[in-house]
Amino acid sequence: MKFSKLSLFVVGAALATSLSAKADFSKEVSEYRAYVIAEIDELLAKTTEFVDKINAGDVESAKRLYALSRMHYERSEPIAESFGELDPKIDARLADLQEDGKSEKDWSGFHKIEKILWETGSTKGAEATGAQLLNDIKELRAKTLTAKVDAELMLTGAVDLLNEVSTSKITGEEDIFSKTDLYDFAANIEGAQKIYDILKPHLLKKDKNLAKDIEAQFKNVNALLAKQNFSKDGYDFKAYDKLSQNEIKELAEAVNKLGEPLSKMGVILD
């Protein structure tokens, strides 16, 4: 998925040039790599189940698994998105392809299946796309082992995850057929928070007040999401088109308030 660059969330040139040999992030990088690999393992497992339901013609189960399987992709996107040729094959919207001068015949991945399931109320025609999606995710899993990961990627990745929420999830344009945007929204927040949690000890050494602010803003966003979740121990979010304009505005403002302090975490690289 392409990330639009909003000035509010751009870490800035200083982050890109401030990586210091004084700080050792090897432990944190290893922890984050393990987290992403685990998420992609879950992505593969859930997508296998998703494709099995498609092949069995079980529309309702496939619809449920569409949202749940994609959450694992959304959490791991800072690394998954780095393989440029795979990201659009797995997660491109039709609008993304059209912006690049391509057409529906070039389309594959989750969102193509989404369109079939919700527009036709059937799994017919989604089988081949599902098989290709599984192959692409298997390739992603193999390539993840070779991905270059460092503290800078983690920091910019956390900011990009918030940026994606503010540019596509909050507008409802990500899942235009299924209206499952809140699942993606929550997964992006969780992916960003995982990066924050891993790097938090370094931030506490640099700026305890900034850490306190970030934690407060994560708590606020998560509380707002919890209001829209019908499940107490899982995920069962309200359809995005059922949110009021005030609820959408409240979520957007909460993401903006989180993005401001989160974008300052580059201080740990000084």
Element spanning 98, H or E:
helix 94-99
Per-residue model confidence (pLDDT) at position 22: 63
CA atoms within 13 A on the CB side of 142: 7
Cβ neighbours of residue 30 under 8 Å, at least 6 residues apart?
none
Type of residue at 160: D
Task: Give ∠ CA 213-215-221 in degrees, rounded to 5.
Answer: 105
pLDDT at 42 over 50: yes
Question: What is the rounded distance in angstroms from the CA atom of residue 34 to the CA atom of residue 21?
Answer: 23
Of 1.10.1060.10, 1.20.1420.20, 3.20.20.10, 2.40.50.320, the CATH number of 25-148 is: 1.20.1420.20
Judged by average pLDDT, the poorest of 12-16, 85-89, 254-258 is 12-16
Q: What is the pLDDT of residues 217-250, one digit of tens each?
A: 999 999 999 999 999 899 999 999 999 999 999 9
Q: Which tokens go with 4?
A: 């639009």
Q: In this structure, what DSSP letter does residue 238 have?
A: P
Per-residue model confidence (pLDDT) at position 8: 42
pLDDT at 211 over 80: yes
- Extents of the domains making up the chain: 25-148, 150-270
Question: What is the rounded distance in angstroms from the CA atom of residue 93 to the CA atom of residue 110?
Answer: 9
This prediction's pTM: 0.90
CATH topology of domain 150-270: A middle domain of Talin 1 (1.20.1420)
Q: Which tokens go with 197?
A: 């949690």
Per-residue model confidence (pLDDT) at position 71: 98
Question: What is the rounded distance in angstroms from the CA atom of residue 252 to the CA atom of residue 11?
Answer: 19
- Asked if the domains at 25-148 and 150-270 fall in one CATH topology, the answer is yes
Question: What is the rounded distance in angstroms from the CA atom of residue 142 to the CA atom of residue 101?
Answer: 30
Q: For the chain, give me the number of helices (H) and strands (E)?
A: 12, 0
pLDDT at 19 over 70: no
Per-residue model confidence (pLDDT) at position 213: 98
